[in-house]
Amino acid sequence: MGDRPSWKEIDARKDRGGSSPARGSRKSERSGVSKDALDRLFNSGKIGEIVREKETEKQIVSSSDQALITKVKRALRIEDTIKFLTTAEKILKEHGAPADFEFLGRCLELSNIRLILMVLRKLDEMLESGLKPERSGSMRALIGMLGVKFGDEEVESLASKVKSQL
Protein backbone atom coordinates (compact mmCIF):
# COMPACT_ATOMS: atom_id res chain seq x y z
CA MET A 1 0.00 0.00 0.00
CA GLY A 2 3.00 2.26 0.36
CA ASP A 3 3.67 2.48 -3.40
CA ARG A 4 0.32 4.10 -4.21
CA PRO A 5 -0.17 7.82 -3.43
CA SER A 6 -2.75 8.77 -0.84
CA TRP A 7 -5.84 10.77 -1.73
CA LYS A 8 -4.27 13.74 0.02
CA GLU A 9 -1.19 13.55 -2.24
CA ILE A 10 -3.37 13.17 -5.36
CA ASP A 11 -5.39 16.26 -4.41
CA ALA A 12 -2.19 18.20 -3.75
CA ARG A 13 -0.89 17.33 -7.23
CA LYS A 14 -4.13 18.47 -8.80
CA ASP A 15 -3.97 21.76 -6.89
CA ARG A 16 -0.44 22.37 -8.12
CA GLY A 17 -1.55 21.67 -11.67
CA GLY A 18 0.89 18.85 -12.03
CA SER A 19 0.09 16.06 -14.38
CA SER A 20 1.87 12.82 -14.68
CA PRO A 21 4.30 12.57 -17.58
CA ALA A 22 2.69 9.30 -18.59
CA ARG A 23 -0.58 11.05 -19.44
CA GLY A 24 1.09 13.45 -21.90
CA SER A 25 3.09 10.69 -23.54
CA ARG A 26 0.00 8.51 -23.93
CA LYS A 27 -1.74 11.37 -25.73
CA SER A 28 1.06 11.72 -28.29
CA GLU A 29 1.19 7.94 -28.73
CA ARG A 30 -2.53 7.91 -29.57
CA SER A 31 -2.18 10.51 -32.30
CA GLY A 32 0.64 8.52 -33.89
CA VAL A 33 2.51 11.70 -34.87
CA SER A 34 4.96 13.60 -32.72
CA LYS A 35 5.36 17.36 -32.77
CA ASP A 36 8.96 16.92 -33.91
CA ALA A 37 7.86 14.81 -36.88
CA LEU A 38 5.31 17.44 -37.90
CA ASP A 39 7.88 20.22 -37.56
CA ARG A 40 10.33 18.28 -39.74
CA LEU A 41 7.62 17.73 -42.36
CA PHE A 42 6.66 21.39 -42.56
CA ASN A 43 10.26 22.61 -42.51
CA SER A 44 11.38 20.14 -45.19
CA GLY A 45 9.33 21.89 -47.86
CA LYS A 46 7.55 18.66 -48.83
CA ILE A 47 4.14 20.18 -48.09
CA GLY A 48 4.82 22.97 -50.58
CA GLU A 49 5.88 20.39 -53.17
CA ILE A 50 2.67 18.43 -52.69
CA VAL A 51 0.54 21.56 -53.05
CA ARG A 52 2.41 22.63 -56.20
CA GLU A 53 2.03 19.13 -57.71
CA LYS A 54 -1.72 19.18 -57.08
CA GLU A 55 -2.03 22.63 -58.61
CA THR A 56 -0.10 21.64 -61.74
CA GLU A 57 -2.22 18.48 -62.05
CA LYS A 58 -5.21 20.73 -62.65
CA GLN A 59 -5.45 20.70 -66.39
CA ILE A 60 -7.33 23.93 -66.82
CA VAL A 61 -7.33 24.87 -70.46
CA SER A 62 -9.25 28.01 -71.25
CA SER A 63 -9.11 31.01 -73.50
CA SER A 64 -9.19 33.10 -70.35
CA ASP A 65 -6.08 34.07 -68.46
CA GLN A 66 -4.69 33.12 -65.08
CA ALA A 67 -7.67 34.81 -63.38
CA LEU A 68 -9.93 31.88 -64.24
CA ILE A 69 -7.48 29.37 -62.79
CA THR A 70 -7.27 31.41 -59.60
CA LYS A 71 -11.07 31.67 -59.35
CA VAL A 72 -11.51 27.93 -59.87
CA LYS A 73 -8.89 27.08 -57.23
CA ARG A 74 -10.54 29.45 -54.76
CA ALA A 75 -13.96 27.99 -55.49
CA LEU A 76 -12.71 24.44 -54.92
CA ARG A 77 -11.57 25.43 -51.42
CA ILE A 78 -15.16 26.33 -50.48
CA GLU A 79 -16.61 23.48 -48.45
CA ASP A 80 -20.16 24.82 -48.07
CA THR A 81 -22.15 23.46 -51.03
CA ILE A 82 -24.46 26.45 -51.39
CA LYS A 83 -21.58 28.94 -51.34
CA PHE A 84 -19.63 26.82 -53.82
CA LEU A 85 -22.57 26.57 -56.22
CA THR A 86 -23.15 30.33 -56.07
CA THR A 87 -19.48 30.97 -56.85
CA ALA A 88 -19.40 28.28 -59.54
CA GLU A 89 -22.46 29.76 -61.23
CA LYS A 90 -20.73 33.14 -61.43
CA ILE A 91 -17.57 31.55 -62.87
CA LEU A 92 -19.53 29.57 -65.47
CA LYS A 93 -21.54 32.59 -66.56
CA GLU A 94 -18.46 34.81 -66.76
CA HIS A 95 -15.87 32.44 -68.25
CA GLY A 96 -17.65 29.32 -69.47
CA ALA A 97 -16.78 25.83 -68.26
CA PRO A 98 -13.10 25.32 -67.37
CA ALA A 99 -11.45 21.98 -68.08
CA ASP A 100 -11.20 20.85 -64.47
CA PHE A 101 -12.90 17.56 -63.53
CA GLU A 102 -13.13 18.36 -59.82
CA PHE A 103 -14.77 21.73 -60.45
CA LEU A 104 -17.15 20.36 -63.09
CA GLY A 105 -18.04 17.39 -60.91
CA ARG A 106 -19.10 19.66 -58.08
CA CYS A 107 -21.03 21.84 -60.57
CA LEU A 108 -23.30 18.88 -61.39
CA GLU A 109 -25.39 19.89 -58.38
CA LEU A 110 -26.42 23.18 -60.00
CA SER A 111 -30.13 23.62 -60.67
CA ASN A 112 -29.78 25.81 -63.80
CA ILE A 113 -30.37 23.58 -66.84
CA ARG A 114 -28.38 25.86 -69.17
CA LEU A 115 -25.33 25.63 -66.90
CA ILE A 116 -25.74 21.86 -66.46
CA LEU A 117 -25.73 21.46 -70.24
CA MET A 118 -22.59 23.60 -70.42
CA VAL A 119 -20.90 21.40 -67.78
CA LEU A 120 -21.96 18.17 -69.50
CA ARG A 121 -20.70 19.39 -72.88
CA LYS A 122 -17.33 20.29 -71.37
CA LEU A 123 -17.10 16.91 -69.62
CA ASP A 124 -17.95 15.19 -72.91
CA GLU A 125 -15.29 17.19 -74.74
CA MET A 126 -12.64 16.38 -72.12
CA LEU A 127 -13.49 12.67 -72.02
CA GLU A 128 -13.46 12.40 -75.81
CA SER A 129 -9.99 13.98 -75.86
CA GLY A 130 -8.73 11.16 -73.64
CA LEU A 131 -8.68 12.92 -70.27
CA LYS A 132 -10.05 10.95 -67.32
CA PRO A 133 -11.02 12.14 -63.82
CA GLU A 134 -9.21 10.76 -60.77
CA ARG A 135 -12.43 9.67 -59.08
CA SER A 136 -15.37 9.05 -61.35
CA GLY A 137 -17.72 7.19 -58.97
CA SER A 138 -19.39 10.20 -57.39
CA MET A 139 -19.45 12.01 -60.72
CA ARG A 140 -21.16 9.01 -62.33
CA ALA A 141 -23.80 8.98 -59.58
CA LEU A 142 -24.53 12.70 -59.93
CA ILE A 143 -24.74 12.44 -63.71
CA GLY A 144 -27.14 9.52 -63.35
CA MET A 145 -29.53 11.70 -61.35
CA LEU A 146 -29.59 14.60 -63.83
CA GLY A 147 -32.15 13.02 -66.14
CA VAL A 148 -34.55 12.54 -63.25
CA LYS A 149 -33.81 15.96 -61.79
CA PHE A 150 -34.45 17.94 -64.98
CA GLY A 151 -36.65 15.62 -67.03
CA ASP A 152 -35.11 17.09 -70.17
CA GLU A 153 -34.36 14.95 -73.21
CA GLU A 154 -31.13 16.79 -74.09
CA VAL A 155 -29.84 16.52 -70.52
CA GLU A 156 -30.67 12.79 -70.42
CA SER A 157 -28.97 12.14 -73.76
CA LEU A 158 -25.81 14.08 -72.94
CA ALA A 159 -25.70 12.65 -69.39
CA SER A 160 -25.88 9.06 -70.61
CA LYS A 161 -23.16 9.77 -73.20
CA VAL A 162 -20.83 11.28 -70.56
CA LYS A 163 -21.64 8.52 -68.06
CA SER A 164 -20.72 5.82 -70.58
CA GLN A 165 -17.31 7.43 -71.12
CA LEU A 166 -16.43 7.54 -67.40
List the chain residues with pLDDT less than 50.
Answer: 28, 60-63
According to the model, what pLDDT value does residue 2 have?
Answer: 61
**pLDDT given at position 20:** 52
Q: Determine the residue type at 146.
A: L
**How high is the pLDDT of residue 110?**
92
Confidence at residue 113, expressed as pLDDT on a 0 to 100 scale: 92
Per-residue pLDDT, 63:
47
* Rounded Cα distance, 117 and 96, in Å: 11
